[in-house]
Amino acid sequence: MQVLLYSAAWCRDCREAKRFLDQHNISYTEIDIENVPGAAEEVVRNIGKRAIPQLVIDGKWFQPYRPGHGLLYQEIRQVLGITITT
């Protein structure tokens, strides 16, 4: 599975998304929209606005957060196939 994370250093939800991916040993490539030429435009082209964090999983764009609510942990788990064992 190829996972891209569009993010920026100042973004709290982006840091939380990275922490979540790291905790679940999900390998990803981070694309900082502030430092990678054309990255912010790529987000706008695919999402319609400059909103981060954004995950691209095997070419499919997924917004892992809801403004005012934070990360959508359950939805991220489903998309990435993460199961919770108790």
- Give the number of other CB atoms < 10 A from CB of residue 66: 11
In a domain, 86, yes or no: no
Q: Is residue 37 assigned to a domain?
A: yes
- Find the CATH number of the domain harbouring 10: 3.40.30.10
**pLDDT (0 to 100) of residue 67:** 81
Is residue 64 assigned to a domain?
yes
| Mean pLDDT, rounded, for 8-33 | 95
The answer to whether residue 66 scores a pLDDT higher than 90 is no
**Any domain includes 23:** yes
pLDDT tens-digit profile of 21-44?
A: 999 999 999 999 999 999 999 999
70 pLDDT band (50/70/90 cuts)?
confident
pTM beyond 0.75: the answer is: yes
Count of the separate structural domains present in the chain: 1
Beta strands in 1-86 (DSSP E): 3-7, 29-32, 54-57, 60-62, 65-66, 70-71
Domain of residue 50 covers 3-80
